[in-house]
Structure 1
């Protein structure tokens, strides 16, 4: 049995939905279909989820919502009309549903926002189920509640409760129907809608693949493979045929947007292989993500990624390494301001903490600086802004003693000296902090090295 997820670009309009229908028709093992909200149809277009966010904001501000509502419902009407379904009737049903949602009670505005953000998937799952039935495929809309999914945590950063997997395992999967499940959201114990992290339909698909014991999780998007580098920086980069769970997680966290970094965890826990494929070229093999023991790389560098928008806090104090409470005091300040760190490389007398810039807004930065100074009285405390974290990923990094030297030498050829260098004991990645303006040049230089490595391995 396969769980299949289609992203927003795969369901953006009628012709794209028709491709998804034929993909489901082509393989009877595709029994569960997880759908995203309709994405962009063309450059400059809006995603339905973004329009729903604007709609929620307008409701909270007491503004007129007629125009936004018309845009949103128009997207679904046009898809329904493409299949000669009653587009106006469907749009009226969705309008009534959104009005009921608006009149409901919420604990606070974050819950209202989460509820509206989830409706892109809710409405699309209903519509896609109707389309599949119209096209002769037995299909049924199923809610996350019906499947036994229960979440906890913040309303826009939900986490699945572990006992949900017991309920999923006991769910009776019909032999003659395709289940159409809205991605991105579930319900908490109080019955409130909560969404996963952005890109959360990947998470829903992975949860269902694990919970329903799927043989394969197919993730359909708008690219034919995961590539060794960003195609916007490297022209025609090498496609990655196979990569390990660990490599995918490292690359996703480092900036690869093809697959949500959080989504891979349920697949790992359930030992479910993931196949990233292209809705527009479904016969292409795509990229298979599998356990390390099943992936036999001949090359050393699997992929290179960079993520901008980082800031680092540098703290220096003599004899820092002898003070057992020093890290705890700093972490307590971070916890107070709900700021999580990404990495924390250290020396004998210094500590560097890397954050996403989004978390450290100016007011938070000022407050944290004041409290850290008071708590640990550093000799030096300074912020390093405008950082890009460049990450070289590959299981092969542990197998060549000179590879790190080659990577740093390659950066030196383009006059880039990393501000930060970090590698964990797993030796699956090497992370380097560079100025944001140098990120593209670093990727280009390192891709040249990885291409040489790949060609030598063939």
Structure 2
């Protein structure tokens, strides 16, 4: 049994949906399909989810949202016309929006329900088209499928009680089409995962039904070892471990949502990334373990938008509980941290910039000065993280030396070096302006 998930680019228009139908027809083992909302048809286009977010914003501000609603209806109408399908789902969209906006309740749940209309409508359209093409297909609402989520609008998590219910999907005779991105709380309220959460749905369903393979169809032939925007025609990666993919996803690899692999990893379900436009291509397999490889690094990732909170105090290492109290201040202010490289008298906390507003920055610094009495505390903004990843790094001598030489060759100064105990990755903090040069130099050292 295979669970196939099709991303936004794979379902962007009628032409792409015809490709999806052919992929489903080509393999009878593809019995469960998870879909995103339609993505961009062209680079300057707008994703349906963004159109729905605009609708939700207009509603939140008390403004007329007729234009935004019509934009959503036009996108789906063009798909229905080209597929020669009934337009009844358009009326469903209008009814859904009217129901959501006229009922009482928490605004956050309403906005989640509006955002989810894209995936829900596309799943209905695809199931109807597959039936038209002679396949025994059926739309399944996430509530009926068994996707029970935590009560956290915009960032819900799957609850363990979902998995026994999801397993029953194996009994279905039809090809099941499930919309991604959302589920329901125990109280029956619709909630969404964080943005890009259709990947999470696919992974959860694959784990729930104990699939033999989870296929994630996108618009690239495979995962590349580096961002093609920085290096033209980079080498493809044909096999990755879960750990490697998780590290790469965290540090800016946009193929997968950062949380998407966790359910598949726990269920030990192999994942294959494939191209909807080239389904016969080899793709990239993501597995639990792989044989020893011939090189230390499999991929290079980068992400910007970080800040460093630097705290220095003489004899910090003898002050029991100093780190805990520092992190407690961040917790009190609702700030999560990414990394905490430290020295004997120094401690840095790496934080995503959007977590630390100017207002919170002043509060945090004032509290640190008052409660911890450091010799020095300051915030360094404009930080980027560059990561080299590979489970084989521990078997190769000189990986760190090669990497630091690459930064030197690129004339990029290192602000921070951090290697996790797992030895799957090595992370470097640099100023944002040097990211492209650094990544290109690392690619030259490790892959050319």
Contact 1:243 1:295 survives alignment (8 Å): no
In the other structure, the counterpart of 2:241 is 244
* Match of residue 405 from structure 1: 401
Alpha carbons 1:244, 1:295 under 8 Å: kept: no
One of 318, 327, 335 as aligned partner of 2:314: 318
The equivalent of 1:330 in structure 2 is 326
Asked whether the equivalents of residues 89 and 121 of structure 2 are also in contact (C-alpha less than 8 Å), the reply is no
Q: Name the SS for the 2:309 alignment partner.
A: strand
| Counterpart-to-counterpart distance in 2, 1:324 and 1:143 | 53
Matched, 1:450 2:431: no
1:181 paired residue among 178, 198, 221: 178
CA contact (8 A) 1:77 1:90 kept: no
Partner of 1:5: 5
Tell me, yes or no, if structure 1 residue 391 matches structure 2 residue 387.
Answer: yes
Note the alpha carbon deviations across 1:157-200, whole angstroms, 9 max, x for none: 0011111112222445313x110001001011111111111110
- The alpha carbon displacement at 1:225 in A equals 0.5
* Matched residue, 1:214: 211
| Alpha carbons 1:242, 1:295 under 8 Å: kept | no
User: 1:77 Cα shift?
Assistant: 1.0
Q: Which segments of 5 or more consecutive residues in structure 2 lack a partner in the other structure? A: none
Q: Is the 8 A contact 1:132 1:138 kept in 2?
A: yes
Q: Are the aligned partners of 1:301 and 1:396 in contact in 2 as well (CA < 8 Å)?
A: yes
Residue 346 (1) aligns with residue 342 (2): yes
Number of the residue aligned with 2:69: 69
2: CA distance, partners of 1:44 / 1:189: 40
- Asked if 1:268 corresponds to 2:265, the answer is yes
Distance between the aligned counterparts of 2:34 and 2:5, measured in 1? Answer: 4
Q: Does 1:31 align with 2:28?
A: no
CA distance in 1, matches of 2:109, 2:89: 26
Matched, 1:283 2:280: yes
Partner residue in 1 for 2:44: 44
- Matches of 2:171 and 2:93, distance apart in 1: 28
The superposition leaves residues 1-36 of structure 1 with CA deviations (integer Å, 9 ceiling, x where unpaired) of 000000001101000111111000100000011000
SS at match of 1:3: strand
Structure 1 unaligned runs (5+)? 453-458
Maintained 8 Å contact 2:251/2:387 = yes
Report deviation, 1:153. Answer: 4.1
1:455 corresponds to which residue?
none
The secondary structure found in structure 1 opposite 2:430 is: strand
Deviation at 1:401, TM superposition (A): 2.3
Corresponding residue for residue 373 of structure 1 = 369
Give the aligned length: 448
Contact 1:252–1:259, Cα closer than 8 Å, also in 2: yes
Tell me the equivalent position of 1:99.
Answer: 98
How much does 1:104 deviate?
A: 2.3
Q: Distance in 1 between matches of 2:368 and 2:104?
A: 41
The corresponding residue for 1:80 is: 80
Aligned equivalent of 1:21: 21
SS of 1:194 mapped into structure 2: strand
Partner SS for 1:324:
coil
> Are the counterparts in 2 of residues 77 and 91 from structure 1 also a CA contact under 8 Å?
yes
The answer to whether structure 1 residue 158 and structure 2 residue 151 are counterparts is no
State whether residues 170 and 209 of structure 2, in contact with CA within 8 Å, keep that contact through their aligned partners in structure 1: no
Secondary structure class of the residue paired with 1:152:
coil
Q: Is the 8 A contact 1:308 1:386 kept in 2?
A: yes
Deviations 1:23-52 (A, max 9, x none): 001000000110000011112111111111
The correspondence for 2:229, drawn from 218, 232, 240, is 232
Q: Which residue does 2:190 correspond to in 1? A: 193
- After superposition, the C-alpha distances for 1:343-366 in whole angstroms (9 at most, x for unaligned) are 001100010000111111111111
1:380-424 Cα shifts (integer Å, max 9, x gaps): 101111011000001121111211111111211222221000001
